[in-house]
Each structure stands twice: as structure tokens, then as C-alpha cells.
Amino acid sequence: MRRNLSGRKYIIIAIFIVVAVIFVARLLYLQVIDDSYLLSAENNVLRKNTIYPNRGLIYDKNGKLLVYDEAAYDLMVIPRKVKTIDTVEFCSLLGITDSVFISKMTKAKKYSRYKSSLFLAQISKEDFGFLAEKLYKYPGFFVRSRSLRKYPKPIAAHILGYIAEVNNNEINTNPYYSSGDYIGKSGIEKFYEKELRGKKGVQVVMVDVHNRQQGSYKNGKYDSIAEAGKNLYLTIDADLQEYAEKLMVNKIGSIVVIDPKTGGILTFVTSPTYDPNLLVGRVRSKNFQMLMKDSLKPLLNRAIMGTYPPGSTFKVVNALVGLQEGVLHEGTSYSCNGPQTTPIRCTHHHITPLQLKMGIEQSCNPYFWNVFRSIINNPKYNSVEKAFGSWRKDVTSMGFGKKFNTDIPFEKPGSIPTLDLYNKIYGKGHWNALTIRSLAIGQGEILVTPLQMANFSAVIANKGFYYPPHLVTAIGSKENKIPRFHEKQMTEIEEKYFDVVQEAMLNVFEGEHGTARWSKLEGVKIGGKTGTVQNPHGKDHSMFIAFAPVGDPKIAMSVIIENSGYGSTWAAPIASLLIEKYLNDTIVRKHIEKRMLDGNLISRE
């Protein structure tokens, strides 16, 4: 028994010796071989500086720089290290009040007394020069390099979007971000955040007792290099964008211009707009609140979030559906008695009876009521509901009632009414073409966005197909195209039915009675359609869709000017000027240009 116990004693002693050796070896490794724990223990003399990469540059289709980065600095604070300082001098140096200083220090302490947090963001390089000279007097404070977005021209604010400091939700849902980081909040900056932001780096530096950096630690052994964000190449034509924004000054509405051969958006205007430089730097919060309170809502992106009845521009949609469904032909005639016509009156007297091309040229309401009735009463379906379902299928195939889901954030789908909607409103079997007759002239329950109307112009220009509208064509380099943006989308309408519609839209400009004949551009064949959109809240909206040249389309668009009356008065002239600018690179019709530039349709009551 004694012999056995004695043997166990040596086993226990051996175990303790082995454990001790393991602990000693581990401590030797941590303290001599592995510096990572030493680095953590010496945080009182070492500092980890986050190296923020430059965000990617943004170029237009012709290589013109739209957005770049400019050096700036953030002032950081570690509350535990802040000693008694001259707050009057410190606040004067930063251009803040004493109450702001107290507020920011309280916020920093709530976050952590031991970790660094943002005290004052986006100090310009000019202001930093004064601060750097005296920062040693304020222990606990240090700066880290950042960058600010800069815009060479104050255009395309709604396209480009803006960046701002991350909120708690963004920090909690994405481990990449930490307090004080910036993230794209809207537009291209938001959609392409991952590509634009790059990758953060870290620099470990030694700091003396006066809060002054003394150089890199261990010759940069623990540093990591920041990787710059990728550049973006937009489809936007900066010159055309700038011109379009000038034309929309003192007007409410939007312009969307598309290259029908690619789906690339050439111009994307929402008006009123704002200078994107207003939402940069320390003045961002103040300016954002100012823009938010503006009664004209300059932050609202009307091109994708504004929804409107399409008015008479939708007559072309019904013409194409009628041709496809076999209830309408080029020679189909209907009579019109002008304003006395029922159940839908015409806005004016004109030639009667009239055929399809003249119906589009004259924008005759009764003609398209008859077209719509023939679609809904099509005998081949033997059912109003089935005929309506086919009408809706044809209409949505042209890009209405749905999102394009490319790189345009926050776009609305618009609305094309459904069977369920009308069955709910009127009861199943209790509605017919007469009940929903407003759809014949683009009113009633139809809502579209300016983006969708511009895409429809491209559908007509291409005779039955479109490429999804998008803003970015390549990432990183011009050659790195985005494949899914170049996939052709076919509509339900056969190519052969577009010829008569294109001829009719050409007559809108060149015909003797064309509703846009006063905006005709010599030497360029433009196809267009005016729309005067009923507005229950005030004066009608002026709408126009167009493409050019007919036969070899290079540009397609929609223009809508709110509360401005007939489509031919404002929207059509603006559209023709943009076509002239894009195709000819100069404006000859100075009298039209002057009237559009000088026009003030905004009332601030």
C-alpha cells in the first residue's frame, strides 16, 4: 500500500512540473516571441491609426471626372487620457462652442472611456494646419486622415448621392464599419458602396507623453495597407446633364434621357435639385436640414419616385396593344365630334373621321377610347376579364408597373391596375370597358415614373425591345462591363407594328396638324408624343416622350413639367433642345432656348 502511494506521489509531482513548464513556455512565447499581447499591453504608448482608403472616382461616359476625394481629417478622443485643458482656446481653435464641447465629450464617454471615438469630423486641410501646431497641448486628442467627396461641377446630385457617418444599425449589421466611418446613403454612392469604399488599413505608431507621434512601431510590422476603392464609369453625359439642369431651373419635374442602343441613362434630372457640395463636410447636417424643410422638396428624386398618370403619351401604348391584339389596323377609322363627343370628349376640333396615324398626330381622345374598347371587347377572348388580362400583360412587357432592378436605388414600380383591383372596386362581372374608360387616355388608375416613360420611348425607337435602364456601365476599368445590364428585354409587341406608330410620332413634329410642330428641328427626324396630364391638385402637367433620329435612334427620353399646362408648351420644346444639343452639339434655335431658360413656373406660396 505504501509502495503504491509513493508511486502516485511522483506522478502528481511530474504533472505539476509539466504544467509549470507549459505555463513558462507560453509566457516566454507571449513575451519574447509573439509581440501581439505586448502591443495590447502598451496601448498607453502605442496607437492604432485606421488608414482610410480613398473612395473610388466617378467618371461620366466621356471620361470627365464627376466625383473625387480631397484630404480631410477627423479629430479623435480617448476620454480617459483627456487632462485639464484650456477649453476656451480649444473651442476657439475648432470653431465650436463650449456647450458643443461638453456634448461631444459626454457622447464619447458614453461610448467608452478607454477606446477612441470621433470627436469632430471632416476638418479641412486648411483648418488642420492650425490645429496640428497646438494639438500637443491637448492630451487624449489626436487626428486621423480622412477624405471628403468633391464635385468639380454642381450637377447630378440625385444620381451621385451622398455619404454620411454610419448609424448604429449599420454598425450592428455590418462588421466592416465602426463608429465614425462613412457610408453611401443614397444614389450611386449607396448602390456601389462595396466597390467604392475600398479596404481600410491600420498603422501602429508610438506616441510620447505630449501626445505627439514618434514614428512607426517595429518598422510597420503590424501595419496593413489600405486599398483604394474601385472607380465607376457612368453612362451619364455630363455636358447634357448640365444643360438639362439649366433648362429645368425654376421648374418642378424631371427629365430622363436614355441611349436606346444600350439602356444607359444619359441624363437624369429631377428639379428642383441642389449642389452636391452642400452635403459634404461639417456643413452637411445643417444643409441637409435646410433641404429637408424646403417646401419644393429638392431631395425628392422625382425621376424614379414621382408617379404620374401618363396622359396622352399612353395612347401610343394602347395603339401598340390594339395592333398586336388584331383589333386595330393602320386604316381603322373612328369619328370625333370634338368637345361634344361622349363618353370621352376631345380637347379640340379636327379632321373626322380619322385613322390611326392622324389619331396619334392629333392626340384624339375619342379615337383611343374606341381603340381601348375594341381591346377589352375583343371577341377572341369571349371575356372582359381575359381581354383585360391580355391588355395588362402587353402593357407590363413594355416596362410599366414594375422595377427595372438595375443600379437605380429607391425606384418605384408605378402601377398598372389588376383584375383583383377592379373586382374589388366594382365586383366581379360588374365592370367593362366603359367602367374603366379612363385607361384609354392614360388616366384613371395608371401611374408611371418618368424613368418608365423614357424606357418606353426606347422601346418604340428599338421597335419592340429595350435594355434595362442603368447608370453605371463599368467598374474598375472601362473594359469591365456589367453583363446583366446589356441583356435585351423583348416586349409582347411584334416589330412590324412599330412602323406605323413611328411614322405617326414623326408627324407629331412634321405633320401639318402635329401637336409639337412648333418644336420641329430641321435636319433631324424626331418622333414624339405630347401628353397633358390631368392634375386634381392644380394646373395640368406637361409631358412629352421622344426619340431621334427616326430609323437610327441615338437618344430617347421623357420630360415632365409639373403644373405647366399642355405638353406642347414646355415639355416638347425642352425635349427638342436636348436632342439638338446631343446630336448637333450646339443650339441654333436660340429663341426657343431663351424661352425655356427664362421660364419660371414655380410659385412659393
Mean pLDDT in residue range 512-530: 92
Please check the confidence at residue 112 and state whether its pLDDT lies above 90.
no
Contact residues for 589 (Cβ-Cβ < 8 A; gap 6+)? 521, 576, 577, 580
Nearest to residue 117, comparing CAs of 145, 88, 144?
Answer: 144
Q: Please give the Cα distance from 577 to 589 (Å, whole number).
A: 8
Q: Please give the Cα distance from 271 to 253 (Å, whole number).
A: 5
Q: Of the CATH numbers 3.40.50.1010, 1.20.1730.10, 3.40.50.720, 3.90.1310.10, which one belongs to the domain with range 46-234? A: 3.90.1310.10
Question: 1-15, 317-331, 378-392: which range is least confident on average?
Answer: 1-15
Question: 37-46, 100-109, 457-466, 467-476: which range is least confident on average?
Answer: 37-46
Amino acid, single-letter form, for residue 599: G
Cβ–Cβ under 8 Å, residues 140 and 114: no
The 10s digit of each residue's pLDDT in 155-165 is 999 999 999 88
Contacts by residues 481-484 (CB-CB < 8 Å, ≥ 24 positions apart): 482/407, 484/406
Please check the confidence at residue 139 and state whether its pLDDT lies above 90.
no
Q: Please give the Cα distance from 117 to 105 (Å, whole number).
A: 10
Q: Please give the Cα distance from 553 to 118 (Å, whole number).
A: 53
Mean pLDDT in residue range 366-390: 96
Q: Which residues pair with 227 in a beta bridge?
A: 199
Give buried/exposed letters for 519-556 (b at 16+ CB in 10 A, else e). bbbeeebbbbbbbbbeeeeeebbbbbbbbbbbeebebb
Mean pLDDT in residue range 487-505: 96
Phi and psi for 49 in degrees, rounded to 5? Answer: -95, 125
Please list the residue range(s) of the chain that carry CATH number 3.90.1310.10.
46-234
Please check the confidence at residue 42 and state whether its pLDDT lies above 60.
no
Question: 372-386, 454-468, 472-486, 518-532: which range is least confident on average?
Answer: 472-486
Please list the residue range(s) of the chain that carry CATH number 3.40.710.10.
238-290+300-598
Q: Which pLDDT band holds residue 513 (cuts at 50, 70, 90)?
A: confident
User: What per-residue confidence (pLDDT) applies to 99?
Assistant: 92
Q: How far is CA 114 from CA 81, 107, 109, 140, in A?
A: 8, 13, 8, 10
Q: Mind spelling out the 3-state secondary structure of 348-375?
A: CCCCCCECHHHHHHHCCHHHHHHHHHHH
Q: Which residues pair with 528 in a beta bridge?
A: 546
Residue 552 or 217, more confident? 552
| Domain spanning 238-290+300-598, CATH class | alpha beta
Q: How far is CA 229 from CA 54, 69, 162, 406, 470, in A?
A: 6, 11, 16, 21, 21
Q: Which pLDDT band holds residue 210 (cuts at 50, 70, 90)?
A: low
Q: Please give the Cα distance from 330 to 500 (Å, whole number).
A: 7
Q: Coil, strand, or helix at residue 423?
A: helix
Q: Which residue has the cell 446630385?
A: 157
Cβ–Cβ under 8 Å, residues 259 and 552: no
Please check the confidence at residue 35 and state whether its pLDDT lies above 70.
no
Q: Helices marked H in 277-431 — which ranges?
A: 284-293, 302-305, 315-325, 356-362, 365-376, 384-396, 419-426
User: What per-residue confidence (pLDDT) applies to 296?
Assistant: 93
Question: 148-152, 551-555, 563-567: which range is least confident on average?
Answer: 563-567
User: What per-residue confidence (pLDDT) applies to 211?
Assistant: 58
User: What per-residue confidence (pLDDT) applies to 1?
Assistant: 45
User: What per-residue confidence (pLDDT) applies to 218?
Assistant: 77
Mean pLDDT in residue range 213-229: 81
The 10s digit of each residue's pLDDT in 46-73 is 777 788 899 999 999 999 999 999 888 8
User: What per-residue confidence (pLDDT) applies to 5?
Assistant: 56
Nearest to residue 531, comparing CAs of 519, 515, 518, 509?
Answer: 515
Rg (CA), the chain: 33
Q: How far is CA 273 from CA 246, 267, 279, 451, 493, in A?
A: 10, 14, 13, 17, 37
The rounded percent of the chain whose pLDDT value lies above 90 is 64
C-alpha cell at 63: 471620361
The rounded percent of the chain whose pLDDT value lies above 70 is 94
* Mean of all residue pLDDT scores within the chain: 90
Contacts by residues 534-539 (CB-CB < 8 Å, ≥ 24 positions apart): 534/309, 534/311, 534/443, 535/562, 535/563, 538/563, 539/563, 539/564, 539/565
The 10s digit of each residue's pLDDT in 168-179 is 899 999 999 987
Q: Which residues pair with 470 in a beta bridge?
A: 264
Instruction: Pick from 67-76, 122-131, 248-257, 337-346 the range whose average pLDDT is largest.
Output: 248-257
C-alpha cell at 53: 482608403
Nearest to residue 572, comparing CAs of 589, 552, 554, 551?
Answer: 589
Q: Coil, strand, or helix at residue 579?
A: helix
DSSP calls for 200-257: -EEEEEEE-TTS-EEEEGGGGTT-B--BPPPPEEES--HHHHHHHHHHTTT--EEEEE
Residue 283 or 386, more confident? 386
Burial class (CB in 10 A: 0-12, 13-18, 19+), 345: middle
Please check the confidence at residue 127 and state whether its pLDDT lies above 90.
no
Return the half-sphere exposure (C-beta side, CA atoms, 13 A cut-off) of residue 212. 7
User: What per-residue confidence (pLDDT) applies to 41?
Assistant: 47
Contact residues for 68 (Cβ-Cβ < 8 A; gap 6+)? 57, 149, 150, 152
Q: Which pLDDT band holds residue 605 (cuts at 50, 70, 90)?
A: very low
Mean pLDDT in residue range 251-263: 97
Mean pLDDT in residue range 471-490: 90
Please check the confidence at residue 420 and state whether its pLDDT lies above 90.
yes
Nearest to residue 313, comparing CAs of 557, 563, 601?
Answer: 557
Please check the confidence at residue 481 and state whether its pLDDT lies above 50.
yes
Mean pLDDT in residue range 511-526: 91
Please check the confidence at residue 220 and state whether its pLDDT lies above 80.
no
User: How many angstroms separate the first and last alpha carbons of the chain?
Assistant: 107
Please check the confidence at residue 143 and state whether its pLDDT lies above 50.
yes
Positive or negative torsion for Cα 413, 361, 553, 158: negative
Q: Which residue has the cell 465650436?
A: 96
